[in-house]
Every structure is written in C-alpha cells, then in structure tokens.
Structure 1
C-alpha cells in the first residue's frame, strides 16, 4: 500500500481542531483501513480512513459510542465523516497487550486476568443494539474453510456434509446465547491497549470492535485464549477460564460451548488467512495457521464436536492435518 496520504485528508481535518497537524502513517491491519497519528501542540489523536465501498466506518462509531456510554474503555469519537470514511478518535498510545507481555513475560498472568475481568464487566451489561450472532452467521463463517482452504490444498470434500455437521454441532448452543452478550469478535492481545502499563489495575482500551454482534459469552474468551497471533499456553487458558467461571458463573454447558465456538472460530480463521494469501497476496498470515490449527484440533476432540470431527476424519487426509499443524504448502 502506498505511503501517500489519501485524497481528502486535509479537507477533512480542515473542519476539525486538528487542521495543520503533523500526520504520520501507522502500520495497518488485514483490512482496507489505514491509520494516521496526528500531533499538534503537544497532543495527539488517531485518524482512521475506512473508505467506501470496501469499508464502512459507521459500525465502528456505533459500537464505540455504545461501549463508551456503558463504561467500557473505547476511544472517544472526536469527529467523523462516514460517507468519505474518515473517523478522528482518541489516541490510546502504542502499548498493546501483546508487546507488553513480550517485553514483560512475568506480567502475562496478571495482564490476561485484567482482560478476563474486562469481559466479565462487558458480559454483565445488557446486550448492545447489535445484530445477532445467529446460525446464518456461523454457517457463513465456517464456509470460509471449504471455500478457501480446501481448494488451496486441492481437496475434494463433502460440502453438504460439512454444513450438516456444523448445524448439528452448533444447534445446542443457540438457545443458550439468548438474550446474549455483546461479542466484540476480535478480542485478543493485539486489540487490547494498556492505557496505564505497569499499574496493577491499569485501564485497558478496546479497539477493532466494529463487527460486534450479540451472541454467546464464550466467543470472545476463545478469541483471547486461543489467539491466532501469539502462543497462549494450555495452563494459562485453563487458569483464565477458571477465573471467568468464578466471576460469571456460566451454565453447565459452558465447557462444551467453548469448544464449539473454539472450533468454529479457528476454522473460520484458517479460511480467512488462506483468503488473505490467495486473494490479497498477504502470505504472512500463513505462518499463523499451524497455531490456529493446533487449537482447532483440541476443540474438535471434545465430544460436543463429534459431527465435525467425523467430517474431518473423512475429508481431510491425516497427513495434511499432521503436516505442520495444517500449514498450507
């Protein structure tokens, strides 16, 4: 992507208090969004460019305001022009949870505990005014695996059986996710900002939540504890799940539903990372697939995932599953 500033950036800033600010591009993510840090008079802000038709900043603004109004730490919206894809927001700084733990490994347990506590607070709120995480969405997401990964591996698979297996596996949890909680959908160590690093009770800032839906409380736990981008030990995963259970007191089906949504999310991610490679030329995500695949295999071993596990046994050759944790060749 070009380092040139997008067309219209100065016109947008000209209508804000940040006219004439120093503009520095920041590293983007896997989307079409771009980010810029503005500096002026000793202060800073972030500018997000989410240009139509590939992006729509309206959902980000909608979710950010709901989180902010309900006591969760989302960046304040300073100015926006949704039609042209501009959103000016509060600057949370550069200290992500991921880098802090890399630099201070002894803090890992404590920082993850803070992230769990934030989810507990979120889940105690009434669900936000967002669309449901229903079976249609689950199906669409798991189909990314058969649409992208399987063709990349030149596999001839039973597509009808795939959908039937997921319908059978996921159907039991649908009733248990009503009325539901707000699901941020990408809650992990690279999307959690440490606003007061080093403090035992430092605030955590939330980012990348524009796809929020109303669904099952286990989903964001899976996103955090089966992280596609960094290794989370099974021991830490266990400890954090125990912490969540002690605070939230979920029902007796929670372990099974965690496995269901773990498998669902990890299958989706394998499909997305393959698509980023095949469609968008972003092959750096391929190196993350083995980590995701390993977590997926653990989820598939739970009895709740028996229908999908049988499909994998019948359709994905064992040598592919064994080779580097399912890494695309």
Structure 2
C-alpha cells in the first residue's frame, strides 16, 4: 500500500538540502526513491543533498548523471543516482544493472516516468513543484518506507520545536541496541540526537516476564535521563540533556567528544584505562539512591542485578554459543547442570560488595577528553541499563574490554589501580574483590559470547564474530579461579578448553 503524501514547503535551496538530509536518515538498502518534477524543480539538488548526507561529506563531488545515466557511490549505504531524462528505451535499465543496484543499495531516480514499469514499486516518491519563489515537495511511498520517513520528519519537528531550526543531521554509528543516533550541527555547534522509542517488552520467556524484563533492560529513555542527571549532579561527566520528548523517545544531548581509549594503531592506552578504573572507584565510593527523578516523567527506580537476571544472561552462552561451537543443542539435563553450577558459584559471592553498576563500562562507552582535567576527562555515554549489583561487574567490563585486546598485565594493573583508589575505605576487601572480579568476568563473558553469536546468526551482523577469540581468552583467564570450579568443570565438558580458545 502507498501512504501519504506529506507536503513540505521549500523556501529555498537550503530548505531542499535539509529535506535531502531527512530523506537520507530514513534511507535503507533496497529503497528506490523516485524524484519527480519539471526541469529546474530541484531534483538534482535534492539527490545531491541525499548523497552528501549519507556520505557525511558536504563537499563530496556529485555530478549530474544526465549523460552517463548513472553515478554510483560506495558509502555506508551504497547509492546509485540515475537520471533517465535521456533514456531511449526502458529496457536499457537491464543493461545498466538496475535490479542489482536496487538489491545491494539505494537508488535515486530522476525522471522515473521514462522507465515505464521497469522500476517496480518505489519505496518513496518525492514530487517537486514550483510554488512562487520556492518549491513544494510531496512525499509518498510504501507503508514501511513512508513510516521511516515520517519518523525522520518527527525528528526534524522536534529539533525545530527546540530552537534548532535549520539544523544539519548526520547518521552516527550506534551500539548493538535498538537505539539510533545522529550528529546534529547548528551554527557550528555539535549535539547528539538519540532516537529510542519505547520498546515492547517482548515475548514471555519464563512465567509472564520477557527476557528484557528479567534482565532489567531499559525499554524507554526514562532511565537514561534519570542516570544522566544523577551522574552530572554528583560531578561526573555525563551528557547534559538539551531537550527531550519522552513519549517519542527523542533526546538532544551534549556532545562529549570523540576521544578514544586507543592509540592511532588501535592499541589500548594504559593511562586512560587506569584513569577509568580510578573513576569507577570514585563512583563506588559514594551511595546511590535507587529512586531517581526524571524531569517531565515518573521517577526511575534502579533495579537489583539479581540472581534471576545474572543466570538468564549467562544462559545465552548455553542457548547460542554452545550450539555454535559444538553443533549440538543443549539438552534439558545439560541446562539443569548449567543452572546448578552457576547457582553454586553465585552462592559463594552473596556477601560481595553491592553498589552502582553502569553495566557497559568499557572503552566504546567512555570518551577520553584530553583537554579536560581530573575525572572530567572521562565522558560517560552509556548507562541506561544501570542497576544495583556487584561493584566488580563494571571493573570486569573495563579490564576485559570486549572489543579491545587487553593483555593480562594491563588487566592486572587496571584492577590494581581500582583497588588502590578504593583502599582508603575501611570496608574494602581486596581478596573479596579478586574473587568477585573472577565471577562477574565469567558471567559477563559467557553472556557476551552468546550475544555476539546471536547477533551474527539471528540479526545478520557477522562483524561481532571476530571478537569471539578474545572473549574466549578472557573467560579462560578467570575460570582458573577456585571459586569458579563448578562452572569451569562444566564448560570443559562443552569443549571449552585453552586449546579450543586458541
């Protein structure tokens, strides 16, 4: 079915460029976008704006394909720009390889009426007509693509309603979650747009609760808002929230920077990891209320990282990694033994220290800000799933960074830097920290092995598989701790040995 149209008044070329950005942020591989209008209506200007927005390059040379018929761009989404004004016969589209273009990328087509029915159904159609000194754009399309464009228009309206008229938008690579991000540029200032509409809880996993509910995953932006404000109020560098539309899941955030924890060669910079360990010690050295206010919404209550959550996450190892590694599905008996082994281990750490757990405290989620001083050098950007649990969990996340190879020596120095910063506290217990670190690292790495295989097999994201050898090696490091003996014996039966990890 075709939806629309949405009518958009374009006062000038600048407005046409902004429309191109809005289309680009809604674009997906496989989309065919038909650009209609008379000569001089602005079709090429719009196409050029779409291509430059996808490229993230305002100066990219985008010549008109009037004589070549097609220009292709290998970008984040491959873009093929067709101008069919001089097309002699619609059958020539077959010679151009139109079907292949539409299969592997997005296709922008000027003068689509000259193609007859060879284009098939367009994902979006943008018609440009002269209106006085400006233009009127009418956008229609198939239900799915039109819904995407409608969402992009809502973001544009959100920006304009919050004083960001004429803001330029660019795609920003996000995380493995449902959240999407953009860079927003207004008058030379950069902000971050988070687009995270409220998510359904998902199908029931046990009883009436879904996986997300059991493991306490954030399903709206409310927890992010609550934690961002709480962190900033306590002197830590979290993004300032410039504007929010909680019902739509839209947040406009301070841009904390792009500084990395890695050297230009891709190696971990030790001092940055050590400073992150000291920051974590500071986070754990103060009390955190469970009830956090949310401006414009109901208060957020931080949940416990309870036994059910930890076991459900660890079970991803059994559900996804074990079949991947062995070719066999786990039996009911194997599942029962898995639970028994993990319960025996978790029983031994019940007396461990509890505090704030940001949950994904590792290098991709910490911005290094060289020009700042003290802990302000470390910008925290991912904390919406925070809860109250073992303080060793985030230390394990940092010292065994899932996406960066941390040598054993550096791992030990990260833990030592944290311990040294904590030892001024009378209740700090180093032996207990080492024990809890081993257990939390084993639980986290078991979970991540399962998640990365699931992302490959279920969501078609093979990039995560390349991290498996590193995660296996991390897991093997901590399985040697005596507290993990029940789990280590069981994992060995699954073929999880040093030889297998190598």
Report the TM-score when normalising by structure 1. Answer: 0.90
312, 317, 329: which is aligned to 2:495?
Answer: 317
Closer, same or farther in 2 for the Cα pair 1:279/1:198, shift >3 Å?
same
Alignment correspondent of 1:60: 224
The 2-side partners of 1:42 and 1:190 are apart by 25
Q: Is the 1:196–1:202 contact (alpha carbons within 8 Å) kept by the matching residues of 2?
A: no
The structure whose Rg is larger is 2
Where in structure 2 are there 5+ consecutive unaligned residues?
1-26, 29-53, 55-147, 201-218, 291-301
Residue 450 of structure 2 corresponds to residue 271 of structure 1: yes
367, 389, 392: which is aligned to 1:218?
Answer: 392
Alignment RMSD (CA, Å): 2.1
Task: Give 1:70-89 correspondences, 5 Å limit.
Answer: 70-89=234-253
129, 132, 137: which is aligned to 2:309?
Answer: 137
Deviates more, 1:144-153 or 1:224-233: 144-153
Where in structure 1 are there 5+ consecutive unaligned residues?
none
Q: Is the 2:197–2:249 contact (alpha carbons within 8 Å) kept by the matching residues of 1?
A: yes
Deviations 1:165-187 (A, max 9, x none): 0011011222323xx21111111
Following superposition, the deviation at residue 313 of structure 1 comes to: 2.2
Deviations 1:213-265 (A, max 9, x none): 11112111110010110111111111121121122123132111111111000
Closer, same or farther in 2 for the Cα pair 1:198/1:322, shift >3 Å?
farther
SS at match of 2:349: helix
Alignment correspondent of 1:175: 351
The 2-side partners of 1:239 and 1:313 are apart by 28
Relative contact order higher in (CA < 8 Å, ≥ 6 apart): 1
The 2-side partners of 1:60 and 1:73 are apart by 14
Q: Is the 1:187–1:224 contact (alpha carbons within 8 Å) kept by the matching residues of 2?
A: yes
The 1-side partners of 2:271 and 2:382 are apart by 23
Deviations 1:88-136 (A, max 9, x none): 10011222323xx34596x822111211111111011103421111111
Alignment correspondent of 1:42: 188
User: May I ask how many residue pairs the two structures share in their alignment?
Assistant: 318
Closer, same or farther in 2 for the Cα pair 1:143/1:40, shift >3 Å?
same
Residue 411 of structure 2 corresponds to residue 233 of structure 1: no
Following superposition, the deviation at residue 198 of structure 1 comes to: 8.5
SS at match of 1:78: strand
Alignment correspondent of 1:253: 432
The structure with the greater share of residues assigned to strand is 2
The structure with the greater share of residues assigned to helix is 1
Deviations 1:143-190 (A, max 9, x none): 11112222334235400000010011011222323xx21111111111
SS at match of 1:97: coil
SS at match of 2:350: helix
